Structure 1
Amino acid sequence: MGLSSSLAIASSGLSALQSELAVASQNVSNASTVGYVAEQSNVSSRTAGGQGGGVVVGLTTRAVNTALENSLYSQNAVVGSLNTINDGLSTISALQGSTSADAGSSNTLADNVGNLQTSLTTLDGDPTNQTAQQAVVSAAKTLASGLNSTSAAYQTARQAAQEAIVDQVDSVNQDLQQIGTLSSQIGQLRAMGQSTADLENQRAAAMSSLSGVLSVKFQETSTGDMLVSTADGTNLPTHQTDGPLFTTDATLDASTSYPGTIPAITLHVDGTPSSTPDRDVTASLSGGTLGGNIQLRDQILPTMQAELDSFSQTLASRFDAQGLTLFSNADGTVPGTNPTATAPAGQLGFSATIQVNPAVVADPSTVRDGTHDVVGSATGASAFTVNTTRGSSDTTLLSRLLTFSLGTTVQPGVSQVPSSTTGLGANGTLSAPYSGSGSLTTLAATLTSAQGATISDTSSALSDGTALQTAMTSKISSVSGVSVDDQMAAIVALQNAYSANAKVITAVQSMFTSLLTAIS
């Protein structure tokens, strides 16, 4: 082998080692970057006529397992959704009170109903006691206030979800634009035969970010472009200047719903929002933090609101049926008995406005005497006349309230009319998962239990989902991640090899110098 060949081989070795050192250094510096996959410099031997001719530096590639990556993206969406729902329901859980406390001492809905029952029982034993009469009013106020607070918490959580949805739509657009921009650059470099590993890692970071906000699927084309679609196959363009999704904020209450009065999330094919939306894709956006907030806003919280409204209407109507309008709207009416009340059955949003009847607050003795006469019927309550002549010690109404309003029958042998459990919500499409029959205490406990189960199931699913996500991340890290120890060991070996090649070049240069000196 001649001196020129030796010099060429050693020089190509130095170039290759410089490339490998640069890649290893970049791997170490990005070891903690989310979504970063270890890069590797591809070096191959060069031969000519069976003789070694040094090495050739190929394109830098990523040590990626696409199947594992896609599985992690899917799990990111699952965990993002569950985490969002769990956070959104945390305040609701706190408001429901502790079921482990002594009966009557907690702030659960069932305890508040039980405390009202206890105050009525006390008054039944001493109907002339004005303090006992006031205690019934106070217990009723506590019950109504608890319903108001819980309803307000639902709407506060829904409003927070709505505002987050607007922000997350912007986040999706930004990630899609980033993916599109990097894909264009990747396509250009591939066309020129240059390495795209760095850009692919940057794009993977944007893909990982997007997968936490929305459940998406990715498919790379032969040109390097990355196609993005939702879980149901809706294509999300990545090369639009302003991003393809658009929505606006709104102020929510119990009467607002999607579909209906809440603005849709629309897909604008040309990327330009217009007064006529191209396509409503709200239902296609599932998973991730965005999908979790949509689920909270449109399903979970409205269902809880509908359940509470249904219970509130049942509470008020059962007392009203026996001759005491104890609970009402501000005007003293009970939903379901007012023909002009808002549908369904006048109970929509009632838990937010329910209060103790102002007439009862003004005259607590009405809890003993009644507020109105009742015309008896075979299917409803028996007849009752307001106590104006029976005397201050009469307990006729109190017995009716304790036996029937708080019981399972409206009169002996006649079951209570079941509370509404279907056709609920602003658009009448929701249903309550608790039985419409039973005593008020039973209904309260069942409602709280049903909502508590939703919260508990979400928390358990989040725990399981997070554990799986952690396991997947660990697996990907072992396959495609950066081991700092391995990379540092490789750097040391590369530096030694670099030094050896440099010595070869130095020796060859020395030999050239000696040869030229001898010739001269």
Structure 2
Amino acid sequence: MSLSSAMITAQSIFNNTGKQTDVVSSNIANVGNKNYVKRTAILSATAYGASVVTTARVQNDSLLRQTLASSSLFSGQNVLLTGLEEVKSIFGGNDYESSPSAYLGALQKSLDTYAGKPGDSALAATVVNAATDLATSLNTASNELQAIRTRADKEMALQVDSLNQLLSRFEVANNAVKSATASGADPNDALDIRDSLLKDISSIVGVSVVTRGDNDMALYTSDQGITLFETIPRQVSFTPKIGYTASMDGNSLYIDGVAVKAGEGSNTTASGSLSGLLQLRDDVVPTMQNQLDEIARGLITLFAEKQADSTGTDPDLPGLFTYNDPATATVPAAGTITKGLAAAIKVHPDLIISQGGNPELLRDGGINGAAYVKNDLSNGGGTGYSALIRSYVTALDTSIDFDPTTRIDTDTSLLKYASNSMGWLEQMRQGATNANDVKTAAYERAEEVYSNTTGVSLDEELSLLLDIEQSYKAATKLVSTIDEMLQSLMSMVK
């Protein structure tokens, strides 16, 4: 090797170690940064050894796509489970002690006790109090369910704003990647930014990625194939409502003019939090509300007063339980949901002592006037009369028709229906819990594998730094040797 070639080789080593040190330093500075992908200095053989020709990004597109998909599924499932846990808390948590079925059981027990002592006015008042507790529980639960829908609406609006901002930032990052790729510049920092935005987007809506020329990227929703980004971001639009009632439907959410579908099932198909929120607002909570409305309708129907004689000229009218204005209330149609009835149901004021009522009308009848009196104390009736009370006790265990859209039994007793309602909720919650465990594990595993593959290992970088140090020492030794040789040559010339 000539002295000139040796000098060129030494210079090449110094250049390489400088670039390699810069790459390793950048890697070490980003240890623990989940949005940073490890860089590697790529060497190429030359006539004088090797030279750093580029800085490669240790990317794994298949693992990134798997991470994005698992993130979307985890996010949608977690939203659903959180909502179901919130619904469960309305009814008292694990034991469902505040559920309609619990209050309905207490009402039946108090009726049964009153039937044994129909002359005890205190027991009559106890029945009315139990009925009031039941009606109040339905009112409260209904209002809380609609509050959950309102909160879901507000959260959707916030996430739509966030998604639009993320897509705008994605456009900037994508343009930077394309520009750097086309010009031969280093696109790695822009790629890191773009990938981090992809992760954020995937938690809101499922993303399908298509990479095109010059590293350009297009985004579509993973479940419906709606365009999210193609050259420019597509508009995501949604108008929330101020509040909800049982009879109100939520506004649709649109991406590029196409309505986004809600998730389905306890192991939800929701990909991203928006689909999960839609499922909670438009499916899970309304189904629970429908069941409460059917319980309220059943109560009004079973405790309705019937005409005392057999002529049948007067209609059945709400008795113990009524709604809105009792003077105009009618018994709802059988087997059909009356939207919002659970929020409106109440005990008839003519039975409430504090409102000037008489709870013993429950025993005698006549809440709706003389035509409905079953036990006329002024005309041969007695305080020992219990037939009407016992008919209510029996009615609670008698099968009636329920609306089939409520997803539980359509021909069963009110007591069993109320119990099945909580069973449906618990089954949904348990299914969502199990699915959430699976999807959480899948997401964490995918993220871990992706991080291990593309992330920075401090031990590896420090080891590589030692190797670079040895290369640098070899170069300095070569330069020192060349210097000695040149000095010897110059002394010989003298």
How would you bin the TM-score normalised by the shorter chain? 0.7 to 0.9
Alpha-carbon deviations, 1:204-230, whole Å to 9, x = none?
111111111111111111211111000
The partner residue of 1:327 within 296, 321, 332 is: 321
Q: CA deviation at 1:515?
A: 4.7
Q: Secondary structure at the match of 1:320?
A: coil
Quickly say closer, same or farther: Cα 1:120–1:324, change in 2 above 3 A: farther
The partner residue of 1:453 within 427, 447, 456 is: 427
Give the distance between the partners of 2:12 and 2:413, measured in 1 at CA: 88
The partner residue of 1:312 within 274, 280, 296 is: 296
Give the distance between the partners of 1:325 and 1:334, measured in 2 at CA: 12
Q: CA deviation at 1:355?
A: 1.4
The partner residue of 2:403 within 420, 429, 432 is: 420
Q: Which runs of 5+ in 2 are unaligned?
A: 264-269, 307-316
Check conservation: 1:78, 1:287, Cα contact below 8 A: yes
- Are residues 1:233 and 2:207 paired? no
Give the distance between the partners of 2:10 and 2:335, measured in 1 at CA: 85
Check conservation: 1:76, 1:212, Cα contact below 8 A: yes
Which structure has more helix as a fraction of its residues? 2
Give the distance between the partners of 2:28 and 2:330, measured in 1 at CA: 69
Partner of 1:66: 61
Check conservation: 2:319, 2:368, Cα contact below 8 A: no
Give the distance between the partners of 1:514 and 1:57, measured in 2 at CA: 33
Partner of 1:10: 10
Q: Quick one: which amino acid aligns to residue 321 of structure 2?
A: F
Partner of 2:128: 137
Check conservation: 1:332, 1:359, Cα contact below 8 A: no
Give the distance between the partners of 1:10 and 1:180, measured in 2 at CA: 44
Q: Quick one: which amino acid aligns to residue 282 of structure 1?
A: V
Partner of 1:380: none
Partner of 2:71: 76
Alpha-carbon deviations, 1:218-244, whole Å to 9, x = none?
111121111100021111126547x62
Once the two structures are superposed, the pairs formed by residues 17-416 of structure 1 within 5 Å of their partners are 17-47=17-47, 53-97=48-92, 106-231=97-222, 232-237=224-229, 239-240=231-232, 244-255=235-246, 257-258=248-249, 262-268=250-256, 279-283=257-261, 286-320=270-304, 325-332=319-326, 337=331, 345=336, 347-361=338-352, 362-371=357-366, 385-388=373-376, 389=379, 390-404=381-395, 406-408=396-398, 416=399
Q: Quick one: which amino acid aligns to residue 497 of structure 1?
A: S
Give the distance between the partners of 1:502 and 1:336, measured in 2 at CA: 100
Q: Secondary structure at the match of 1:351?
A: helix
Partner of 2:469: 495
Give the distance between the partners of 1:256 and 1:494, measured in 2 at CA: 71
Give the distance between the partners of 1:502 and 1:306, measured in 2 at CA: 82
Give the distance between the partners of 2:127 and 2:175, measured in 1 at CA: 72
Q: Secondary structure at the match of 2:54?
A: coil
Q: Quick one: which amino acid aligns to residue 326 of structure 1?
A: L
Quickly say closer, same or farther: Cα 1:184–1:451, change in 2 above 3 A: same
With the length of structure 1 as denominator, give the TM-score of the two structures: 0.83
Check conservation: 1:14, 1:498, Cα contact below 8 A: yes
Q: CA deviation at 1:15?
A: 1.8
Q: Quick one: which amino acid aligns to residue 134 of structure 2?
A: L
Q: Quick one: which amino acid aligns to residue 254 of structure 2?
A: T
Q: Which runs of 5+ in 1 are unaligned?
A: 48-52, 269-278, 375-382, 409-415, 422-430
Give the distance between the partners of 2:394 and 2:61, measured in 1 at CA: 67
Partner of 1:412: none
Q: Secondary structure at the match of 2:45?
A: strand
Quickly say closer, same or farther: Cα 1:121–1:490, change in 2 above 3 A: same
Give the distance between the partners of 2:246 and 2:335, measured in 1 at CA: 11
With the length of structure 2 as denominator, give the TM-score of the two structures: 0.87
Q: Secondary structure at the match of 1:237?
A: strand
